[in-house]
Amino acid sequence: MHRYWLYFDISASYPRAWPPVAGVTGHDVDDCVEILRHRYGMHVPPVTKVVEDPDLTDFQPGALPGGWTTLGVPVWRGVWYPPENITGPEPPERQRSHPRWWALATNSDGP
């Protein structure tokens, strides 16, 4: 598992609900993008910058776009900035190891 800061170009017609930067922990960047796609339920805006395994000891509350003052739990698989995974890791049905992950990720009955 790795944690990532993912920066997005939201200047196009993406809804305001999409954050300009997200902190996500997952198996790789693609896994993190899928986690975000599940969370926001729409197309992912273009990724402009990826920071792998950032040092969070120097996190400054309110310094990132959105101004949140706290992080979720970055050791759990899921979105930790904006702080959402404060109750536990992504549920098993959203993890790639789950037999129905592909169907859930693509909203279809399988590959």
Tens digit of each residue's pLDDT (9 = 90 or more) over 24-74: 999 999 999 999 888 877 778 889 999 999 988 877 777 776 667 778 888
pLDDT for res 110: 41
The answer to whether residue 111 sits within a structural domain is: no
Contacting residues for 25 by C-beta, under 8 A, at least 6 apart: 1, 2, 3, 4, 32, 74, 75, 76, 77, 78, 80
Compute the 3-state secondary structure of the chain and give helix, strand, coil in percent, each to the nearest 5: 20, 20, 60
- Classify 52 as helix, strand or coil: strand
Domain tally, the chain:
1
The answer to whether residue 91 sits within a structural domain is: yes
pLDDT for res 16: 63
The answer to whether residue 81 sits within a structural domain is: yes
Look up the domain containing 65 and give its range: 2-106
**pLDDT exceeding 70 applies to what percent of the chain?**
68
Question: Are the C-beta atoms of 45 and 10 separated by less than 8 Å?
Answer: yes
Residues in the chain: 111
The answer to whether residue 47 sits within a structural domain is: yes
**Banded pLDDT at 106 (limits 50, 70, 90):** very low
pLDDT for res 99: 45
User: Model pTM?
Assistant: 0.70
Return the residue matching tokens 């305001």.
Answer: 16
